[in-house]
Structure 1
Amino acid sequence: MGFGEKRKGYYRGRYWVGPGQLRTVVDADGKTVRFGNKRAAAKSANDHEAGWRESGKAKSLAEKAVEVVALVDSEPAVEGAITFGEYASQWYAEQDLAASTMQNYKRHIEEHLLPEFESATLADIERTHVDAWAKKERALYEASSVKTWRSTLHLILADAVEEGHRDANPAAQRRGRGKRAGRSRNRGPEKVVTDALGMLLIAERTALLSGRDDEFVAVILKGYTGMRWGEIVGLESQFCRPKTVRVEWQLYELDSGELHRCPPKDDSYRSIDTPEWLSALVSDHIARTEPKPCRCHGFTYVFSSHGEANGSARRTGAKLVDVARRAGVSVGTVSNVLNRPESVREETRIKVETAMGELGYIRGGLPGETAAHWRRSGFATWLFQPAATGWYPKKAPQVEHPVPLLAEPWPGVPARGRGASGRSEACWVPIARGLTPHGLRHSHKTVMEELGTPPKLMDERLGHEDGSVQARYSHITPGMRQRLLDALTVLWEEALDARFAMCPRSPVRVLGELLRARR
């Protein structure tokens, strides 16, 4: 008896043609017929099964036996004749998942699966073929990445088995197989983390590299809340409230360059408690920058990109803020020297012009319109990594090289423009080699562990979910929240004191004000 089988968004008809042999209702081209309801699928399946039996009534038992053998021999050629490339395209089109997941599947299929299996018939793909492919990929890529790509292959072939194109899944990973030695290759390097002082120093350097305070506030907010990168970029000003930051959306960067506004990962909506000093830091930033709705989404975001190209190392010259810091004057004064020199005192004008010469400032050498949002790679490559390590990464045609600095004011102002390396007087020492923006999320978890924070509260702040019985019977109290906020405040003040001991001033405006308040 035939039946209707539910699939994603449709039903397909299935009917028996022999012991243990199921067939799918297909059209003239051999493609699965999609039915809108289970009843229609079952009716069509029953009709096909009845037709199959009717066609064999007048045949002898010997003829029926020959037919069964022929069916077994010919079935893969009929239903399995579809190639992996054809089926993968059809399979991908049927998926209805988050944009980030669809992007990842597309990348896995196009870059790693199709080059190997595209022309292979589904029924002809063997386990030895899959194992050989995985071995070849591991020689070129990280084992964890190959494991992910094999999981996608397993998922595609599992659906092919369900649809009757194959009898078994050759990509299934068998337990207890393979060599025991060398399994440590699946373990990645330990994630680099930093402490409260490291966060502060890195935040200061990113602000110096970008030439504004925004990056300082963003790095500190990320380090003391554990928010994901997409959640920081997609943080809207309406969700920054006294003593809390509400995570409602993220901006996920697709391969096309589009920033897709979507819910946070795993629907981890949450309110993160923030100390009073952090709430004040963010609210002051919003009041100072007065963010406007972006053109791409129409929402008002707390942070915006620091430049059109988003690449400090590739700037054609220093910025006005660099000249102002070097000369010890405001940005407005530098602008007056350029546009209305008669309105500036001679002594100040000479000081500003000297700073321009030392920095290699070229008027009009900067990109024009500021981009609406940071790009993950640009922020990490040209701001965060140089701040954490003191080195610009290798980027053709340039080789890896230290960030060239002018020694004053401490901790040094990045020199830009032609001949920047020749004019440099110092360079930064590394703070945390290998630290990434996501490493700040790990750092926040590590800090909370050191402070003895209850696991339930840690999971809430990070947007994790623990389904264990222990978590079900654990609850967060106001006292737990306040103890964590008090401990984070102590760490922040200790970091400020340590920074003050290094130098009581900072060329970063917001940090300079905080240090003056510590005197």
Structure 2
Amino acid sequence: MGFAERRKNYWRGRFKTAPGKHLTVVDENGKAIRFASRGEAQRAASEAENKYRRGDWRDPALGQETFGEYANRWYETQDLAASTMQNYKRHIEEHLLPDFEDKALASILRTDVDQWEKKEKAMYAASSVKTWRSTLHLIFEDSIEESLLTSNPAAKRRGRGKRAGRSRERGPEKVVTDPLGILLTAERAALLSGRDDEFVAAVLKGYTGMRWGEIVGLETEFARPGSIRVEWQLYELDTGELVRCPPKDDSYRAIDAMDWLSALVANLVARTKPTPCPCHGKTYVFRGQSTARTGGHQGAKLVDVARRAEVSTGTVSNVLNHPDRVTELKRVRVEQAIADLGFVRGGAGSEHAAHWRRNGFATWLFTPAVSGWYPKKAPQEARPVPLLGEPWPGIPARGRGASDRADACWLPIAKGLTPHGLRHTHRTMMEDLGTEKVLMDDRMGHIDGSVSARYAHVTPGMRKRLKLGLTEQWEAALDARLTLCPTSPVRMLNDLLHARASTVQPPRQRSSAGPRIPAGSQAG
């Protein structure tokens, strides 16, 4: 039982914590409380002793550690994936420490956190602020585990302080496309890059739902006939380093691949003959882009000239090096294409980087493909992708005066679509086919922890129906593309269109010698 202890001109409360060990009743700052009467001191001491026995008492000296000190100590104890550690570091250094670094843990109140959140939302997207608050909440929760705090000031109280009705923080709806949109996006990305890697990658992502890191990190040994095995991903850190790590949430899986999709990947590998990369020593399906092949402002490439003249790259090379080996008609066509495109021999680099960079791919290849516009990049403003309209759907004009030489530009396919949006698109396509949820989760690498999911299992029949449905969607997209134009400047797609045309005659075909401004384009 607590007792009062007489001092010179005041009383203090004392209570027992162990045999021969007593503590003094103190305030929230750890200073001994001076009571005016013996009764007050004894009551406070008894109450403190009861709290101690119940386990509710904590030392007021704890929690005086500053948030900055604890956050640094907390971060050092984490042992997580490199991507997670990078995100935590960014959240703490850029968004939490500026407001809370010098404050004692115990002094941070719920109102302080709410005020910080309100300030952040005035500058950043609500979804980002929500993520940063989650990190703050986690840090406080771990401080409670260490008995530094008794409650979490970052905890959300449902329904408190909010206007009734639908949430005002709803983000924009995720943009998705359809099978034809996937095909057209893949074709345009290949035209912008000047090779087939981007065509295969966009189709693969749209028809498997693989994450971006899983596409970049797809090793040739896991691209097997009939399936794509997801074993690793390459995650790009802020330093530019690409870390080879397990897929998100350990979502290892084998994704069923239709015969045509397996053939598409196998043909690309057979033609490009990839070699082990210098950074990981592994052989990957897809190569990166060199600096000279991104940005939209560099000079035309040899493949651009070949596409414009509708000849092979070998023919273009012969015109440049051995003109006597080429017929007069082809030589004139190639020389005209060189003039139209502003091609400068040796003006575009040919070295490939080992891997794509997330920002470079999305900014200079994917976004222009789906929107028809290059983004703003100093000193240039956002601008339409300049095109030479023939052959359809147009050859990107590059180099100085590209806009003046252009006679067409692309209409948007799905403005706002992102590479991750193709993952959403794949899920939507499966929903449209009536695919069972257990198979959709298995394919996407999602985990359903419900009791119902424990009794659901994927069957061969489910897999077969899904592959048939996706094949029908692919063939319908090819038929629609044939209707627009029976040929393509992208070699892989051109081969697919020819093969499809030999088996199915589409209802309407556009001649490759048709109007200058075709469907999907507008005057530049």
Query: By how many angstroms is 1:50 displaced?
Result: 6.8
* In 1, Cα distance between equivalents of 2:63 and 2:146: 10
Alignment counterpart, residue 485 of structure 1, candidates 467, 472, 475 = 467
Q: 1:213 aligns with which of 170, 179, 196?
A: 196
Residues 1:356 and 2:307 are matched in the alignment: no
Please point out which of 364, 373, 378 is paired with 1:391.
Answer: 373
Query: Which residue among 418, 424, 427 is the counterpart of 2:406?
Result: 424
Matched, 1:300 2:283: yes
Letter in 2 for 1:88: A
Change (3 A) 1:50 1:250: farther
Q: Which has the higher helix share?
A: 1
- Deviating above 6 A after TM superposition, structure 1's stretches of 4 or more consecutive aligned residues are 64-74
Does the 8 A contact of 2:67 with 2:105 survive in 1? yes
In 1, Cα distance between equivalents of 2:473 and 2:338: 39
Aligned to 1:231: 214
| Equivalent residue, structure 1, for 2:477 | 495
TM-fit CA distance, 1:343: 4.0
Displacement of 1:123: 2.0
Determine the structure 2 residue equivalent to 1:25.
none
Deviations 1:87-133 (A, max 9, x none): 11111011111111111111110111011111112222111111111
Structure 1: runs of 5 or more not aligned: 1-16, 22-48, 57-61
Give the 3 Å change call, closer, same or farther, for CA 51–107 of structure 1 in structure 2.
Answer: farther
Q: Which amino acid aligns with 2:211?
A: R
Structure-1 residue corresponding to 2:314? 332
CA contact (8 A) 1:208 1:413 kept: yes
Find the aligned partners of 1:441 and 1:66 in 2 and give their Cα distance: 64
Deviates more, 1:473-482 or 1:362-371: 362-371
Tell me, in whole angstroms, the C-alpha distance in 1 between the residues paired with 2:302 and 2:159: 63
Correspondences of 1:119-268 after superposition (within 5 Å): 119-181=102-164, 183-268=166-251
1:380 aligns with 2:362: yes
- State the SS of the aligned residue for 2:88: helix
CA, structure 1 residues 74+489, in 2 after alignment: closer, same or farther (shift >3 Å)? closer
Q: Tell me, in whole angstroms, the C-alpha distance in 1 between the residues paired with 2:396 and 2:191.
A: 7
Aligned counterpart for 1:403 among listed residues 378, 385, 388: 385
TM-score of the pair, normalised by structure 2: 0.84
Displacement after TM superposition at 1:325 (Å): 0.9
Distance 1:83 1:346 in 2: 80
**1:80–1:165 Cα contact (<8 Å) kept:** yes
C-alpha spacing 1:183/1:255, structure 2 compared with 1 (3 Å):
farther
- Aligned residues of 2:228 and 2:254 also touching (Cα < 8 A): yes
Q: Name the count of aligned residue pairs.
A: 469
Displacement of 1:342 in angstroms is 4.4
Offset at residue 348 of structure 1 (A) = 3.1
Aligned partners of 1:234 and 1:301 also within 8 Å: yes
Q: Which amino acid aligns with 2:233?
A: Q
Q: SS of the counterpart of 1:207?
A: helix
Pairwise CA RMSD = 2.7
Q: For the residues of structure 2 that align with 1:380 and 1:351, how far apart are their CA atoms?
A: 34
Deviations, residues 302-342 of structure 1 (Å, cap 9, x unaligned): 00113235624232x01110011112221122223333444
2:442 aligned partner? 460
**Aligned match of 1:415 in 383, 388, 397?**
397
SS at match of 1:246: strand
| Unaligned runs of at least 5 residues, structure 2 | 1-13, 26-37, 502-524
Letter in structure 2 aligned against 1:381: T
SS in 2 for 1:245: strand
- Between the aligned partners of 2:175 and 2:494, the Cα distance in structure 1 is 28
Q: How does 1:462-477 map to 2 (within 5 A)?
A: 462-477=444-459
CA distance in 2, matches of 1:310, 1:164: 56
Q: Secondary structure at the match of 1:185?
A: coil
SS in 2 for 1:251: strand
